[in-house]
A and B are shown apart, each in its own frame.
Chain A
Amino acid sequence: MRRKRQSSLLTTEFPAETSFLAQILERRAASDTVFALSSSRSTPSHTRALIPLLKDGLIDPSDPFCLLLKGILLRKLHKRIEAMDCFMRSIALMPYNWTTWLELNAVIESSAGEMDEILPLLPQSFMTLLFLEHHHRQSAATKDPQANTDRLQVLLDLFPENAGLWNSLAMQRYLQRGGFERARCAEPQDCR
């Protein structure tokens, strides 16, 4: 607003031949003002709204659901490592909340090998297996589809009527079909 006021003053102070420059400046100032207003309306206010939520009972929570909420808030505040810590603590307390696993999956950078680092910290539950299967199927399904198939076999032994697991297995086998293509390219005679 102050810049807009300054540009308005600019148009009044300068003569008519410089009005074109003044108009440009004013238009630019107006666009900057709009940008400033829009940015102040989105990110800062959003941050301001999240911080009190964190301070309100979520400073050091021990409830798994509060930990989940804190992790979600931290993730929205771009505190990825802190959010991961909250999610893992929540999972240690309540491993059967799939929402927490999905949130954890969202903050893990598989390219950095974080999954291998956090794997010993995860509970020894079938939920961990479900999470690993979900993570590898989503992130790097083509790297080692056989391992994911093994995971799915174990899970299907426990949950034989789960349609989602059967879908995942079908997807893995479909991805493994690429092995035939590679074998055909390598030795077409053997693939007849």
Chain B
Amino acid sequence: MNNDGGRGSPCVYVAPDRLSLRDAAPSHARRALLAAAQEMSSRGLDNGANWALDLASCLRGGGEDDDNDDDGVPTSSFTAFSPPSDRHAPFDWQTSTPARSHHDANNTTTMAEGDASVASTSGAQHIYPMQSTPFLGIQAPSSSSFRQDLSSPQPARVAAAANGNSLNLNLGPQANPKDAITPPSNSPAAAATPLADNSLSGRFPPPFRQPPSPLSNLSYSADEGDERPRRRGGVGIGNARGGFHPGAAAAARGDRSTSHPLSISHSHNDGDDSQDDTLSTKGNDDESMAEDAATDTGEDSRSAHVRFASEGKDSSLGADSDYRFNPAAASTSRSPHHGPSSTHEATVYSYALSCFRLGQMERCKWQLDKLRARAGGSRKESDRVVFLRGYVGMLVSRNRH
């Protein structure tokens, strides 16, 4: 064994195998392992991702001994594989494969679109799209009953009540995730909507046609129900429930350039899930929706899409609620001057979350406890670490007793 360099020198020559290690720098190894773990996790290889995270969490000095040692890392000798040197760059080296198009690889919101399409095909296709109106350019479903629902919501509600299935009333965005990419309310397409189409909606009286999209008003009642003070920040709740989608996380991080409306539609879906409960308990919500529309005239210049995009930017809850394993976000969203302990915390948290997903509750709890012991109370932990530790602790205690 011969270490050619000192600490931080990436090239280690191993005598038994005459092997020179080009990725022996801890920061280099950490980034490569985290990126690989993300790729594996995104492909369902949870064991492999867990293994990589385990290795990354055990790196010397937390894997972040020197942020500038990237310059000292020689480029990888293998041509096909080159770990990302720019931590702000997307992981093109992994995702740009012939199997996946470049656009799909770079656009995180496309993943949300895929999730939405999966959600729409998983059983929500036969659900009455409440938001789909001619304003948004939604085509009427082929089902004759859906056409009846589109033409007049009130008979649809009666029909659903007769069937005893309240789910048929809502979950419109799940049924058609492309709602979010339809022209917004102030678009020329929406402005050119004839009044005859307004009559097709049949939901709102003329004074409440602004915004012309009833989706916004419905989403208000869907997201928050009767809790009016929470309306302005209600998208945070939606993100809290829909935080598993990377698109929503991107919106929550405030990256407007990457905030795709489709990622917002997921939050919308979750809001509509709460709408399920509302509609199942309420007998007739037309009046409440009319009241919602009347009270929302102060901010009715925003459509549902714009509202979610802007509030997703301001929402910090959405960022905290992004519990989906995303080590790339942990490494790319932080500035170079970010403290090393927080990066280590993100790494350990990712590993603990991976253990949690694999059902290794004890190990997850141990990792989080070790993280707290390492912090020693000198630095405040993030909310997600505190929550996960408490949640895992609850599950472990419940399993023991």
**Interface set, chain B 89-105, CB cutoff 8 A to A:** 94, 97-100
Q: Does B16 contact A147, Cβ atoms closer than 8 Å?
A: yes
Q: Does B17 contact A158, Cβ atoms closer than 8 Å?
A: no
**Interface set, chain B 21-66, CB cutoff 8 A to A:** 21-24, 26, 29, 32-33, 35-37, 39-40, 43, 45, 47-48, 51-52, 54-55, 57-60
What is the CA–CA distance of A148 and B40 in the complex, to the nearest angstrom?
28
Query: What residues on A are CB-neighbors of B60 within 8 Å?
Result: 157-160
Query: What residues on B are CB-neighbors of A159 within 8 Å?
Result: 55, 58-60
Given contacts A63-B98, A129-B14, contact A123 B77 (CB under 8 A): yes
**Interface set, chain A 144-165, CB cutoff 8 A to B:** 144, 147-148, 150-151, 153-154, 157-162, 164
Cβ proximity bits A79-121 to B, threshold 8 Å, 1 near / 0 not: 0000000000000111111110000000000000000000100
Q: Does B1 contact A154, Cβ atoms closer than 8 Å?
A: yes
Query: What residues on B are CB-neighbors of A95 within 8 Å?
Result: 78, 81
Query: Which one of B3, B45, B58, B60 has the greatest number of beta carbons of chain A within 10 Å?
Result: B58
Q: Residue A66 at the B interface, CB < 8 A?
A: yes
Nearest chain-B residue to A89 (Cβ)? B80
Query: What residues on B are CB-neighbors of A162 within 8 Å?
Result: 54-55, 58
Q: Does A129 contact B19, Cβ atoms closer than 8 Å?
A: yes
Q: Residue B371 at the A interface, CB < 8 A?
A: no
Interface size class of B (residues with CB under 8 A): 35 or more
Given contacts A92-B78, A92-B80, A129-B14, contact A98 B51 (CB under 8 A): yes
What is the CA–CA distance of A148 and B17 in the complex, to the nearest angstrom?
10
Q: Residue B192 at the A interface, CB < 8 A?
A: no
Q: Does A97 contact B23, Cβ atoms closer than 8 Å?
A: no
Q: Residue B373 at the A interface, CB < 8 A?
A: no
Q: Does A99 contact B48, Cβ atoms closer than 8 Å?
A: yes
Q: Does A132 contact B17, Cβ atoms closer than 8 Å?
A: yes
Given contacts A93-B80, A126-B23, contact A151 B16 (CB under 8 A): yes
Q: Residue A128 at the B interface, CB < 8 A?
A: yes
Query: What residues on B are CB-neighbors of A57 within 8 Å?
Result: 99
Q: Residue B20 at the A interface, CB < 8 A?
A: yes
Q: Does B58 contact A161, Cβ atoms closer than 8 Å?
A: yes
Nearest chain-A residue to B74 (Cβ)? A124
Q: Does B97 contact A154, Cβ atoms closer than 8 Å?
A: no
Q: Residue B162 at the A interface, CB < 8 A?
A: no
CB distance from A164 to the nearest CB of B (A): 8
CB distance from A91 to the nearest CB of B (A): 9
What is the CA–CA distance of A66 and B14 in the complex, to the nearest angstrom?
31
Q: Does B99 contact A66, Cβ atoms closer than 8 Å?
A: yes
Q: Does B14 contact A94, Cβ atoms closer than 8 Å?
A: no
CB distance from B20 to the nearest CB of A (A): 5
Q: Residue B196 at the A interface, CB < 8 A?
A: no
CB distance from A166 to the nearest CB of B (A): 10
Q: Does A158 contact B99, Cβ atoms closer than 8 Å?
A: no
What is the CA–CA distance of A93 and B77 in the complex, to the nearest angstrom?
12
Q: Does B21 contact A124, Cβ atoms closer than 8 Å?
A: yes
Q: Residue B195 at the A interface, CB < 8 A?
A: no
Nearest chain-A residue to B1 (Cβ)? A150
Q: Residue B160 at the A interface, CB < 8 A?
A: no
Q: Residue B12 at the A interface, CB < 8 A?
A: yes
Q: Residue A62 at the B interface, CB < 8 A?
A: yes
Query: What residues on A are CB-neighbors of B26 within 8 Å?
Result: 158
Nearest chain-A residue to B16 (Cβ)? A147
Query: What residues on A are CB-neighbors of B48 within 8 Å?
Result: 97-99
What is the CA–CA distance of A62 and B80 in the complex, to the nearest angstrom?
10
Given contacts A92-B81, A123-B81, A126-B21, contact A97 B3 (CB under 8 A): no
What is the CA–CA distance of A92 and B81 in the complex, to the nearest angstrom?
6
Q: Does A63 contact B29, Cβ atoms closer than 8 Å?
A: no
Q: Does A94 contact B47, Cβ atoms closer than 8 Å?
A: no
State which of A93, A96, A150, A157 has its C-beta within 8 Å of the C-beta of B32: A96
**Interface set, chain B 74-124, CB cutoff 8 A to A:** 76-78, 80-81, 94, 97-100
What is the CA–CA distance of A151 and B99 in the complex, to the nearest angstrom?
36
Q: Does A124 contact B77, Cβ atoms closer than 8 Å?
A: yes
Query: What residues on A are CB-neighbors of B52 within 8 Å?
Result: 96-98
Q: Does B39 contact A94, Cβ atoms closer than 8 Å?
A: yes
What is the CA–CA distance of A93 and B21 in the complex, to the nearest angstrom?
16
Return 17 A-B CB contacts under 8 Å, by A number. A62-B97, A66-B99, A92-B78, A92-B80, A96-B33, A96-B36, A99-B45, A99-B48, A123-B76, A124-B22, A124-B76, A126-B21, A128-B21, A157-B3, A158-B12, A162-B54, A164-B54
Q: Which 4 A-B pairs have the closest CB atoms?
A: A96-B36, A147-B16, A162-B58, A63-B97
New contact pairs (5) apart from A119-B17, A124-B20, A151-B17, CB-CB < 8 Å: A95-B78, A96-B52, A150-B1, A150-B14, A158-B24
